[in-house]
Amino acid sequence: MSGARAAAGTLGRAAGTLGRAAFLAPVGMAAFLSLAAWTMALAAAGCTADRGSGPRAEAPGVSPSAARPRPVRVAAAADLQYALEDLAAAFRVRRPDVRLEVTYGSSGNLATQIENGAPFDLFLSADTAYLRRLAEKGLTEPGDGFLYGVGRLVLWVPRGSPLPVQREGAAVLRSPRLRRLAIANPRHAPYGRAAVAALRTLGLYEQVRPKLVLGENVAQAAAFAAGGAADAAVVALSLALAPAMQAQGRFWEFPLAAYPPLEQGGAVLARARDPEAARAFRSFLLGEKGRAILKRNGFLPPRRAGVPAAGGPRTDGGEEAGLWTGPPSGSPCG
């Protein structure tokens, strides 16, 4: 397996619940079959990851049930895959009695699953609008919403691409060599809405719109580009910084002022089976060690502690959520 396809396979494990890839323009049969193959491969890979440390010997004199780590079932935005691997490993050292079981997907799809009774303990969303929606329905612990970071957006191309993204930035999207551009589906993926907003701000959206290929979440969009089914992808910096993606591609970061702040937050859920264990991981995530790991994985620190009240840019609608007029005056994103 080539390095690029290995990177795409790795990203596939974060693709969440997958359906058909969505296309905004007709594509040739070969391209369709390539994308369909990737979609099936991603679906076969599954969306849940056990972030434990593998088989463990039982402690002498302790019953297997007593020694078994307590699972915390986490519904996590797809951009968190690599950051959560690091976070889980560090948390495991501090709390060997707790094991994270993580399901990745688009924040919108995960919120819908929670509304439909999915058995999660903790929700980590890439858009605080979904946290407010769940809180209004009594599905989160009262007053538990928190912010853990601010996401960043990049344009990623495979290493062998003729598009000089590091030198010319988003201008490469005007090139006739760009045939397909992958983004997350803006109807339920925050990074997809941010991608549309950034493309509109830079005056590129109408030109690239016929070339867009939509992934179910930002990890699937990255997998399309890494696997050759798209020429480039607009993805999370946290994914572009992953070793597999760095080894097989190049990226350029969009200006923060080009899209609404990707404030990411979480909450312990009202139906949590083990709320104490879920709160323990929340505390670790928001602590000094957790913040350092998030920063290393490309997240900016949040500018406030709690989930903001409703208002500001539209972040929970369809494709037109891309309308963005820039940050408020005095914002550090300017």
- Residue 280 has a pLDDT of 97
Express each pLDDT in 273-302 by its tens digit. Answer: 999 999 999 999 999 999 999 999 999 999
The pLDDT of residue 18 is above 50: no
Q: Using CA atoms, how far apart are residues 322 and 334, in angstroms rounded to an integer?
A: 18
Average confidence (pLDDT) over 305-331: 43
Residue 317 phi, psi (nearest 5):
-115, -155
DSSP states along 288-313: HHHHHHHHHTTPBPPSSSSPPPS-SS
- Residue 182 has a pLDDT of 98
Q: Using CA atoms, how far apart are residues 37 and 199, in angstroms rounded to an integer?
A: 28
- Residue 69 has a pLDDT of 86
Q: Cβ(260)–Cβ(104) under 8 Å?
A: no
Average confidence (pLDDT) over 109-118: 97
Mean pLDDT of all residues belonging to the chain = 80
Q: Which residue has the tokens 């000089």?
A: 164
Q: Using CA atoms, how far apart are residues 175 and 322, in angstroms rounded to an integer?
A: 22
Can you list the domains of the chain with their CATH numbers? Answer: 3-45+152-258 (3.40.190.10), 48-56+63-150+262-317 (3.40.190.10)
- Residue 74 has a pLDDT of 98
Banded model confidence at residue 169, pLDDT cuts 50, 70, 90: very high
The two tokens of residue 22 are: 């969505």
Q: Cβ(238)–Cβ(11) under 8 Å?
A: no
The pLDDT of residue 125 is above 70: yes
The pLDDT of residue 333 is above 60: no
Express each pLDDT in 31-70 by its tens digit. Answer: 333 333 433 333 333 345 555 544 333 334 434 444 688 9
